[in-house]
Amino acid sequence: MRRRRLGLVAATAVALAAGASWGVPGVVGHAAQEGASCTLAGTANLNPGLSTTSQSFQYAFSGTMSGCHSTDSTLTSGTVFAGSPTGTITGSGPFPSGTGSCGSSTTSGVAVVQWNNGKATVVSYSTNGAGAGVSLQGTVIASTVVNGVTYTTTEFAAGEQTAAPLVFSVPVGSNQNCATVPATTANINGQTALGSAQ
């Protein structure tokens, strides 16, 4: 079955979270003193689900970072979340939020990466997207509070930049099509990068 693409901007993401993994020299357009690059794979849960009409929404995201290449030799993988460690819209958040539809959207939020070496990186990020492609840009910050728990950056330094080209898609077998069934979940995949400029 052909995977259907979903043009939403969710985080992650982190981060995110949002987006949210870290770069190598050149990925963010600068020579880096320290950095990392990882493959991001995760899932976003959106409320309300995205349709063909632009609206405000919030979301939570959780995922993994794998295949990391870093200037810190102890960093090889990690997990990432935005809004809730479980990736669901439960608890007090705060949750990333945005405005848009399946066709285009913008969001902002904070993602937390917990690395295999026991350290963490907190990133404040924003996203812009159209169709299935989303561009994430962010900055490492000192700390954040999620669901009443404080997360502090101990890997990389506050002020370092992160960037990620991401792809969003509806899970295979899902009946979500935006037109008649809003998209409440989406897969998020891409390569993430973070680094500090000299």
Location of structure tokens 């945005």: 98
Q: What is the pLDDT of residue 197?
A: 42
Mean pLDDT of 8-37: 43
Model confidence over 113-167: pLDDT tens digits? 999 999 999 999 999 988 788 899 999 999 999 999 999 999 999 999 999 899 9
Q: Is the dihedral of CA 171, 9, 98, 178 positive or negative?
A: negative
Q: Is the pTM of this model over 0.75?
A: yes
Q: What is the pLDDT of residue 17?
A: 32
Q: What is the pLDDT of residue 25?
A: 32
Q: Is the dihedral of CA 116, 107, 88, 144 positive or negative?
A: positive
- 196 falls in which pLDDT band (50, 70, 90)? low
Q: What is the pLDDT of residue 169?
A: 85
Q: Give the separation between CA 20 and CA 49, rounded to whole angstroms.
A: 23
Structure tokens at 15: 């981060």
Neighbour tally for 93: CB within 10 Å: 18
- CA dihedral in degrees (189, 104, 135, 156; nearest 10)? -80
76-85, 108-117, 185-194, range with the lowest pLDDT = 185-194
